[in-house]
Amino acid sequence: MCGFTGWIDWTADLTKQSIILEKMTGTLANRGPDASGTWISPHCALGHRRLSVIDPANGAQPMVRTSDDDTYVLVYNGELYNAPELKRELEGRGRRFTTTCDTEVLLVAYMEWGPSCVERFNGIFAFALWDVREEQLFIARDRLGVKPFFFARQLGRFIFGSEPKALLAHPEVKPEVGPEGLAEIFINGPARTPGVGVYRDISELLPGQCATVNRAGLHVSHYWKLQSRPHAENVEQTARTVGDLLKDTVERQLVSDVPLCTLLSGGLDSSALTTLAVNYYKETGQGTVHTFSVDYVDNDKHFKSHAFQPNADAPWIQRMTSHLGTVHHATVVDTPELVGALHEAMTARDMPGMADVDSSLLLFCREIKKEATVAISGEAADEIFGGYPWFHREDALNAGTFPWSLAAGMRAELLSQDVAAWIRPLEYIGDRYLDAVAEVPHLPGEDAQTRKMRQMSYLNITRFMPTLLDRKDRMSMAVGLEVRVPFCDHRLVEYVFNIPWEIKTAGDREKGILRKGLEDVLPHDVLYRKKSPYPKTHNPNYLNAVRTRLLDVINEGNSPLLPLINVKKIRQLAESESASSNLPWFGQLMSGPQLFAYLLQTDMWLRDYKVVIR
Q: How many CA atoms lie within 13 A of 142 on its CB side?
A: 26
264 sits in the region (left: phi over 0; alpha: psi -120 to 50; else beta) called beta
Roughly what angle, to the nearest 10 degrees, separates helices 592-608 and 342-349? 60
Q: Which residues contact 39 (CB under 8 A, 6 or more apart)?
A: 45, 46, 62, 64, 73
Marked catalytic residue, from 2, 101, 117, 365:
2
Query: Is 44 one of the catalytic residues?
Result: no
CB atoms within 10 A of CB 540: 13
Q: Please, are residues 374 and 259 in contact by the beta-carbon 8 Å criterion?
A: yes
Identify the DSSP state of 476: H
Q: Please, are residues 65 and 58 in contact by the beta-carbon 8 Å criterion?
A: no
Q: Please, are residues 20 and 159 in contact by the beta-carbon 8 Å criterion?
A: no
Query: CA 599, 603, 605 angle in degrees (round to 5)?
Result: 110
Rounded CA gap, 594 and 599, in Å? 9
Q: How many CA atoms lie within 13 A of 369 on its CB side?
A: 20
Rounded CA gap, 78 and 47, in Å? 15
Strand, coil or helix: what is 191?
coil
What phi and psi values does residue 221 have, to the nearest 5 degrees? -145, 160
Query: CA 159, 163, 167 angle in degrees (round to 5)?
Result: 30
Q: Please, are residues 293 and 317 in contact by the beta-carbon 8 Å criterion?
A: yes
Q: DSSP letter string over 491-519?
A: HHHHHHHTS-HHHHTGGGSTTHHHHHHTT
Q: Which residues contact 247 (CB under 8 A, 6 or more apart)?
A: 276
Burial string for 524-538 (b: 16+ CB within 10 Å, else e) reads: eebbebebbbbbbbb
Answer whether the bond into residue 441 is a cis peptide, omega within 30°.
no
Rounded CA gap, 468 and 478, in Å? 15
Answer whether the bond into residue 190 is a cis peptide, omega within 30°.
yes
Strand 209-214, strand 217-222: pairing: antiparallel
Rounded CA gap, 166 and 154, in Å? 16
Rounded CA gap, 150 and 133, in Å? 25
Rounded CA gap, 586 and 603, in Å? 19
Identify the DSSP state of 206: P
List of E strands, 53-115: 63-67, 70-80
Element (H, E) at 603: helix 592-608
List residues with catalytic annotation: 2
